[in-house]
Structure 1
Amino acid sequence: MDLRLSRERQARLDLVEGLKVYIAGQIMPSLRQEFENWCEAENPNETKLRDSKFMQRKFGPDPLYQTSRGLQRLSQEAMWREVIFGLNERKTEIEKQLDSDYQNPGSLTLNSNLTMPDYYENNEFHLQPGNFHKNTIAGPIYEVGVATYTMHRYGKAGDEMGQALVSVLPDQPFKRVLYMGCGPAYKSYPIMNALPDAEHWGIDLAAPMLKYARHRAVENGKPMHFSQMNAEDMDFPDDHFDLVFCMLLLHEVPTKAVTNIVNEAARVLAPGGVLANLELPSYDSLDPLSAFLMDWDTEHNGEPYWRDYHEMDLIQAYQDAGLKAKMTEAHSEWGGAKGNYMGKFRYHVTIGHKP
């Protein structure tokens, strides 16, 4: 599918990305120096530096911090506006392609009776207007928007998370694989490439995302089966999959839903199967300023469950579901398609084995 914007719209979107690059490359280093100067003058201890309420009260009023956060929010809203306006110029054409009746490879099963959980229905994750399920072209909007959001650091394929996850998966046979919260599903292509003989499934709450995932998979020759389901209550039988995984899903849901998803994943895993959850690094593994900046997203960037996820004990949730769990690190090479944010990036992957 051709997702190129008109020259005018792309120019406006490039301006937004330029603002994001300026924030990251110019303002943030200055903010870090400002923070270090403040720490030297005030001498807060580590406990206070990791207390979000203390940090918001004491460092939050800093003018440079306020400027950086204001510009971050403005750039996020402007990004979605330009992407939506740009793709709406071809909305009818895009919808027609998404409605194509593909026979193979793979399949698509939608469920118009599926009830959206309140936490999903009433939020706009990452500030994407209409969330992932209320706009028929939400999938293309997401893909174009995320490329700008990340300043193209995922590269043209957008699959660096999948590459990171593949690098830490156990060396064992996986005959049937499930991707929970798959969205457009392209992040899973490295896993499909590494496991070409496996049967691959992807589930998501959003029909528009699944329709786009199906279209994209067919275009790329990926034989993936897509089904509209809630990962808290899946239709699959017990002991069905050898590998169940998700990427940046669990921080998008309340902790109760996290527990439900882990329990469901454990149920559908076959004995000896693996549950793998790839996420951004935890607050306690980051320096205090980075953790404070990350926590800002909870209140201001459409990540309402971000803080609660980072404060929960996911290893314990795995163990409570009957899985033997450990956390490992995965690294990927950021290769910005526009030369931005080159280098390595670190993820946390929680891996559970079903006895």
Structure 2
Amino acid sequence: MLNTFQQAPHAMLPQATTDEASRQEFSKSLKQFIQKGLLPGLGPIYKTRAVDRYKQETGKAPTPDRHGIRKAMVRDVYFQHYAAVNRISQELLWDSVIDSIERQEGDLATTAKEYSARNKGQLLIPDNFEVPKYVAALDIHCMPGGYPGEEKPEEINGGVLYDRGVYLYSMGYTGPNNDDMGRSVCNYIKRRLNGFTPKRILDMGCTVGHSTLPYKELFPDAEVWGVDVAAQQVRYAHARAGAFGLDVNFAQMNAEKTSFPDGHFDLVVSHILLHETSGKAMPRIFEECFRVLAPGGVMIHADLPPFDLMDPFTQFILDNETYYNNEPFWGAMREVDQVGLARKVGFAPDSVRFDTAPMAVMEFAAQAAGYSQEAAEGVADRDFVAGEFAPGGGWEVLIAQKPA
């Protein structure tokens, strides 16, 4: 039986030795320990001693928002231990994968050419493409080289590293094929959008196309495109789709300004893209979504919830990504009025809303345990849980429709 929380092998993943696999599993288990063993202690620490210490030192209580909570917590040794171990675990997970990639670099490049040739979809890598500075200037998620990879855009190493590394980062909650976000949104479309059947689909910020492929599975006759600013990611994504036997188009493009014609797509989606963009880029991405959608087309962005949907302490926990995991836009993105922004660029006001797409991997696990379909959906669609990845809370989706 398929183990829901182990990544399923495919042709484009490196084969780990026993030692490499053990290190990778340790890095995943360490993140699980931090989530389950250390993180729950932060709340009691704040209430029982951090607030009192702050009052003694400043003569006043911390402000009841995530910034005030942080000021009270940063000097506490328990929080310092939590933050340090969390950062170490993030660096360790990438490091645990690099050896496998470097050892098989030549074979992976050959395999990529083979499977990219099997993918009948287009692969567009333009000359002299300029990666936005907000992506290129730092190693997002502490991933060596960041999304664009190091030095050689003609390689696929950055894509290989992301495919395996992000699975470890999610602690298995992205599912065996690392595609839980796309699969969860596809399930949502199938169940909630009343027979909506798009003929052309665009996935913005697709990285390795792991969330892109479920759309081709659900809508096999559709023209599906994945775009990303990182050449290594889309080159790997094209080969990866070929390894899964799917014909999907990939291109190096900036979601702020693609080269697609007006009204070309029926559905535009993204999966954890928005928190990787700058405050100036996000409005342009929404404008571009509106431009490339046909009348009546739908925009869906899947991410974690905005701050106004969670309590201040949960905001503080999530905002640790901003401070300690090279995610400078993580906190700021959640303060943007995304509903207002979607309405401003032209989406039908009464169509713009947040909703929750139950996690497909949790539904799968519940069904395997004998739950009915309805009960399995309930297991997956439970309340948001504090934590950097927040497994089990369902994916928050921003939905908007272009007027017909």
TM-score by length of structure 2 reads 0.81
Q: Give the CA deviation at 1:345.
A: 2.1
The answer to whether the 8 Å contact 2:69/2:313 transfers is: no
Report the equivalent of 2:400.
352
Letter of the aligned partner of 1:105 in structure 2? K
Deviation at 1:189, TM superposition (A): 2.7
Per the TM alignment, residue 35 of structure 1 is displaced from its structure 2 partner at its CA by 2.9
Amino acid at match of 1:151: M
Unmatched 5+ residue regions in structure 1?
none
Distance 2:51 2:325 in 1: 30
C-alpha contact 1:281 1:346 (8 A) present in aligned 2: no
Q: Return the alpha-carbon distance in structure 2 between the equivalents of residues 285 and 43 of structure 1.
A: 27
Find the aligned partners of 1:321 and 1:149 in 2 and give their Cα distance.
34
CA distance in 2, matches of 1:280, 1:46: 29
Alignment-mate amino acid for residue 354 of structure 2: M
Percent of aligned positions with the same letter in both sequences?
30
1:322 aligns with 346
In 1, distance between residues paired with 2:361 and 2:220?
25
Name the structure 2 match of 1:48: 63
Residue 285 of structure 1 deviates from its aligned partner by 2.0
* Per-residue CA distance 1:234-265 (angstroms, 9 max, x = gap): 10110110001101001101011011111011
Quick one: which of 176, 184, 187 aligns to 1:156? 176
- Which whole-Å CA distance do the structure 2 matches of 1:5 and 1:46 have between them? 51
Q: Is the 8 A contact 1:105 1:221 kept in 2?
A: no
TM alignment of 1:113-128, pairs within 5 A: 113-128=128-143
Once the 2 structures are TM-superposed, how far is the Cα of residue 333 of structure 1 from its aligned partner?
4.4
Q: Which amino acid aligns with 2:173?
A: R
Q: Secondary structure at the match of 2:300?
A: strand
Closer, same or farther: CA 22–266 of 1 in aligned 2, 3 Å: same
| Pairing of 1:1-355 with structure 2 (within 5 A) | 1=11, 2-38=13-49, 48-52=63-67, 54-100=68-114, 102=117, 104-135=119-150, 136=155, 137-169=157-189, 170-171=193-194, 172-324=196-348, 325-335=352-362, 344-355=392-403
- Cα distance in 2 between the residues matched to 1:188 and 1:354: 22
CA change 1:60–1:47 in 2 (3 A) is closer
Residue identity in the other structure for 2:186: V
User: Residue by residue, what CA displacement relative to the aligned partner does 1:176-225 show, whole Å, maximum 9, x if unpaired?
Assistant: 11111111112133322221221111111111111111111111121211
> Structure 2 vs 1, CA of residues 213 and 46 (structure 1 numbering), >3 Å: closer, same or farther?
farther
Structure 1 residues 43 and 63: CA distance shift in structure 2, 3 A? closer
Question: Residue 122 of structure 1: CA displacement?
Answer: 0.7
CA contact (8 A) 2:216 2:224 kept: yes
Q: Which residue of 1 aligns with 2:371?
A: none
Paired residue secondary structure (2:212): helix
- Cα 1:92–1:277, aligned 2, differ >3 Å: closer, same or farther? same
User: 1:210–1:228: 8 Å Cα contact kept in structure 2?
Assistant: yes
Relative distance call for 1:70 and 1:47 in structure 2 (3 A) is: closer
After alignment, is 328-337 or 175-184 more displaced? Answer: 328-337
Partner SS state of residue 48, structure 1: coil
Structure 2 Cα separation of the partners of residues 234 and 318 of structure 1: 18
Q: Distance in 2 between matches of 1:81 and 1:245?
A: 31
Q: In 2, Cα distance between the equivalents of 1:120 and 1:56?
A: 26
Q: Point out where structure 2 has 5 or more consecutive residues left out of the alignment.
A: 1-10, 366-378, 381-391
CA distance in 1, matches of 2:149, 2:359: 32
SS at match of 2:63: helix
Name the SS for the 2:394 alignment partner.
strand
Q: Which has the higher strand share?
A: 1
Q: Assess, with a 3 A threshold, how the Cα gap between structure 1 residues 73 and 39 changes in structure 2: closer, same or farther.
A: closer
TM-score, scaled relative to structure 1: 0.92
Contact 1:248 1:279 in 2 (8 A): yes
CA 1:110/1:46 → structure 2, altered by over 3 Å: closer, same or farther? farther
Once residues 225 and 348 of structure 1 are traced to their aligned partners in structure 2, the CA distance between those partners, rounded to angstroms, is 26
User: Which one-letter code corresponds to 1:56 in the other structure?
Assistant: R
- Pairwise CA RMSD: 2.4
- Cα distance in 2 for partners of 1:30, 1:55 equals 15
| Equivalent AA in structure 2 for residue 88 of structure 1 | E
Point out the more displaced range, 229-238 or 147-156. Answer: 147-156
Measure, in 1, the Cα distance between the counterparts of 2:118 and 2:361.
Answer: 35
